[in-house]
Amino acid sequence: MTAIAGAVWTAAQFNTFIRDNLNETLPALATVSGNYFVTTSTHHLAERKIYQDYIAVQNGFDSTSYDDPDLAGAAGEAITVGPTVTCFTGTTALVVVGGRIGGGSTSTQSVKMSWEVSGDSSISATDEWAAGPVGFGGVTTFAYTSRPFLCTTLTEGINTFTAKYAVSSTPGLASGRTLLVMPF
């Protein structure tokens, strides 16, 4: 509708061309404090939130290929898989893994925390986005480390991100394990 000087608008015209347009602004569309908006295609927005899972206990692992923890921690903590985050994503998400990772007993030891995706996407854990010390050495050497990775190969839908662990030789340990997913 084009406004004309001196013209009177009806309530229906005002509601259609003013109120309804204002209801399409981002502040009007926001439903939860702390969420953010992403463009999902031309002229389409979606509200998203950041997801995080945290596991405090220390667990060990001794697989040279990425897998779940399989050893109790130094204080005998129960084995805890993860952290794990399940959420709706578009085709892209920022994924961050990290924690207190280490425990290798040789100078060339690598102790790594990565992540895999299951659900609507199927992506294996890899060194490409892993965090952890490489070549630190020492029986009780640890590093507080994290690594962000922008994953652009997701299938839109419900995806589950799960931390996985690997070592190059002798067992490793990890505690304060965090997995953060920011879907787009």
Q: What integer pLDDT is reported at residue 4 of this predicted model? A: 84
The answer to whether residue 36 sits within a structural domain is: yes
Quick: pLDDT tens for 29-72: 777 888 898 888 888 888 899 999 999 999 999 999 999 999 88
The answer to whether residue 109 sits within a structural domain is: yes
- Give the residue from 160, 146, 156 showing the smallest Cα distance to 184: 156
The answer to whether residue 4 sits within a structural domain is: no
The answer to whether residue 2 sits within a structural domain is: no
Judge whether residue 137 has pLDDT over 80: no
pLDDT confidence of 180, banded at 50, 70, 90? very high
| Residue 68 sits in the same domain as residue 95 | yes
In this structure, what are the phi and psi dihedrals at residue 14, rounded to the nearest 5 degrees?
-60, -45
Report d(CA 125, CA 89) in Å as an integer: 18
| Residue 85 sits in the same domain as residue 160 | yes
Indicate the residue type of 34: G
| Residue 124 sits in the same domain as residue 110 | yes
Structural domain containing residue 162: 50-183
The answer to whether residue 6 sits within a structural domain is: no
For residues 75-86, b (16+ Cβ closer than 10 Å) or e, as one string? eebeebebbebe
Question: Structural domain tally of the chain?
Answer: 2
The answer to whether residue 33 sits within a structural domain is: yes
| Residue 39 sits in the same domain as residue 84 | no
When mean pLDDT is compared across 81-90, 96-105, 134-143, 150-159, the lowest value belongs to: 134-143
CATH number at residue 81: 2.60.120
pTM of the full structure: 0.83
The answer to whether residue 176 sits within a structural domain is: yes
